[in-house]
Amino acid sequence: MYKTLSIVIVLISACFSGAIAQEKPREFSPYSRFGIGDLADPHFGAVSHLGGIAAAFTDRNQLNADNPASLGALRSTAFEVGVSTKYTTLSSGDQRTRFFGGGLDYLALGLPLYNPINDLLNRNRRNLHIGTMFVLKPYSFVGYDISQIDSIAGTGSYQRKYIGNGGTYEFKWSNGFEYKQFSGGIGLGYLFGKMTYKRELDLLSVPLPYTTIFLNEISMRGVKWNAGIQYKVNLKKLAEGEVESSRYLSVGIYGQSAQDFKTTSNEIYRRELIVTSTAGIVDTVRNVTDQPGTGVLPGEIHAGFYYNDKYKLQFGGQYSLVSWSKYKNSAKPEILQNASHISFGAAYCPDIESLDNFLKRVTYRVGFRFGNDPRSFQNEQVKDFSVTFGAGVPFVYQRKVSFVNFAVEMGNIGLKDNLKSKYVQLKLGFTLNDDEWFLKSKYN
């Protein structure tokens, strides 16, 4: 247990350092100019592999970071960490640009408040179970570096540059309960981060070339919340001594209302005249610092179902709707559109209890996700699609069964005849379980 705590402390410190000090863009996407950038995948290992069917997903050993109601089903302490690397190809007509990036996806610790071993030793059959979870993860990314050379009669050639980097992060605390077949939960989060947007116009053909620069730095912060419920329908009668049906259908829903946030922005507008190779004249037209602002993140709702037959066969689906048309940001006003997505996922494990065949203990997963992005290009709403192939591999760590989840996700974002981003992403996650936390018999 103490080794696990040491790993948690080290990784939390590393994650906070990266969140504050990261300068190189993690991803490359011209669409991240809009809104607060490209949203990070909010799902953890197993849920992400299944296309993001988080509304009704439950597991005794692995975390569902999206619907807090699922925490009531947790029966062992779970420490989860996920990383990924992503290869992106951006195309527009005959032009191609490629980018390779990645980093830490999430860091989480979840635990049940009642240890099932204590209940077993005390012969106590408990109807109420409570779980809690702490999460630190990226929320959105901004990353692009675009240049375009053109010319005007009488002026000559000029170059436009668009550069953006940064992003936001979320620290979240969630709690959930399970009473018999009903579950409910609520999560509270703190959103923070900084985004930098830079535009340059360089005159290349005039005798004394000069550069016009507009720089906008926006720091963002706010409190978020979400809530959810789940209901489990047992499809097989409980055998003697069982506390959970081996075959069930879960239905769930989670979401949030519109969320307010605050911003602090710095704006610089200046012109730089190049006199010699080492000297120039700077004319600052506008310089505003610490300008306060406000904004509104959209409300959203997600509903779905999940079927589980002894963890041998699992499948589910989900529909999501996010009201991005309600989005506001006084520091960077723009108009977005409502976004909707449909997700499906399935998993199969040949024999989770096999002792002599490793491959039979592996859970093989596939997931699909498609829908509308809130951003638009040339008055047409952006589309996105992804397919994921993954596997969950159990292993023994400190005499406890834990899991490695890895997957390959392929997808594209954009429009058929315009700007399109195709990517291949490799995901790797670890779940370390421990069922001896809060074990009373250790201290009696």
Contact 303, 317 (CB under 8 A): no
With cut-offs at 50, 70 and 90, classify the pLDDT of residue 70: very high
With cut-offs at 50, 70 and 90, classify the pLDDT of residue 154: low
Cα torsion 270, 276, 277, 279 to 10°: value is: -50
Provide the pLDDT for residue 276: 58
Return the SS3 of 133.
strand
Residue 379: how many other CB atoms lie within 10 Å: 5
Query: What is the pTM for the complete model shown?
Result: 0.87
Residue 288: how many other CB atoms lie within 10 Å: 11
pLDDT at 16 exceeding the cut of 70: no
Provide the pLDDT for residue 212: 85
What amino acid occupies position 423? Y
With cut-offs at 50, 70 and 90, classify the pLDDT of residue 94: confident
**What does pLDDT average to over the chain?**
86
Provide the pLDDT for residue 19: 44
2-442 belongs to CATH 2.60.40? no
pLDDT at 84 exceeding the cut of 90: yes
For residues 126 and 175, the model is more confident at 175
**pLDDT, tens digit, 9 for 90 and up, residues 348-372:** 999 888 878 888 999 999 999 999 9
Give, in order, the Cα–Cα distances in Å from 424 to each of 90, 98, 209: 12, 11, 41
CA 231 – CA 252 distance, rounded (Å) = 6
CA 376 – CA 6 distance, rounded (Å) = 45
What would the mean pLDDT of 131-141 be, rounded to a whole number?
95
Provide the pLDDT for residue 81: 94
With cut-offs at 50, 70 and 90, classify the pLDDT of residue 114: confident
What would the mean pLDDT of 48-63 be, rounded to a whole number?
94
pLDDT at 230 exceeding the cut of 60: yes
Strand-pair partners of 134: 109, 173
Provide the pLDDT for residue 157: 80
Contact 267, 288 (CB under 8 A): yes
Provide the pLDDT for residue 311: 87
| Range from 197-211, 287-301, 339-353 carrying the lowest mean pLDDT | 197-211
Provide the pLDDT for residue 203: 77
With CA atoms as reference, report the closest residue to 232 among 385, 55, 5: 55
Give the Cα-Cα-Cα angle 438, 442, 444 (nearest 5 degrees): 105
What would the mean pLDDT of 138-155 be, rounded to a whole number?
83
With cut-offs at 50, 70 and 90, classify the pLDDT of residue 37: very high
What amino acid occupies position 432? L
Tally of CA atoms within 13 A in the half-sphere of 44 that contains its CB: 29
With cut-offs at 50, 70 and 90, classify the pLDDT of residue 165: very high
Residue percentage of the chain with pLDDT more than 90: 56
Give, in order, the Cα–Cα distances in Å from 83 to each of 11, 75, 430: 12, 25, 9
Provide the pLDDT for residue 357: 85
**pLDDT, tens digit, 9 for 90 and up, residues 267-314:** 998 887 766 555 566 778 888 899 999 999 999 999 999 999 988 999
CA 220 – CA 259 distance, rounded (Å) = 13
Provide the pLDDT for residue 275: 60
Provide the pLDDT for residue 175: 97
CA 289 – CA 7 distance, rounded (Å) = 40
pLDDT at 242 exceeding the cut of 50: yes
CA 434 – CA 8 distance, rounded (Å) = 13
**3-state SS, one letter per residue, for 62-99:** CCCCCCHHHHHHCCCEEEEEEEEEEEEEEEECCEEEEE
For residues 275 and 321, the model is more confident at 321
Residue where the block lists tokens 């390959």: 408
Question: What tokens were used for 139?
Answer: 């929320």
Tally of CA atoms within 13 A in the half-sphere of 96 that contains its CB: 6
With cut-offs at 50, 70 and 90, classify the pLDDT of residue 441: low
With cut-offs at 50, 70 and 90, classify the pLDDT of residue 5: very low
With cut-offs at 50, 70 and 90, classify the pLDDT of residue 444: very low
CA 294 – CA 282 distance, rounded (Å) = 32
Give the Cα-Cα-Cα angle 429, 164, 266 (nearest 5 degrees): 115
With cut-offs at 50, 70 and 90, classify the pLDDT of residue 236: confident
First to last CA, the chain: 18
Provide the pLDDT for residue 185: 97
For residues 278 and 85, the model is more confident at 85
What amino acid occupies position 42? P
pLDDT at 73 exceeding the cut of 60: yes
Residue 306: how many other CB atoms lie within 10 Å: 28
Strand-pair partners of 226: 187
Provide the pLDDT for residue 9: 45
What would the mean pLDDT of 14-30 be, rounded to a whole number?
59
For residues 187 and 415, the model is more confident at 187
Residue 198: how many other CB atoms lie within 10 Å: 16
Question: What tokens were used for 404?
Answer: 């490695």
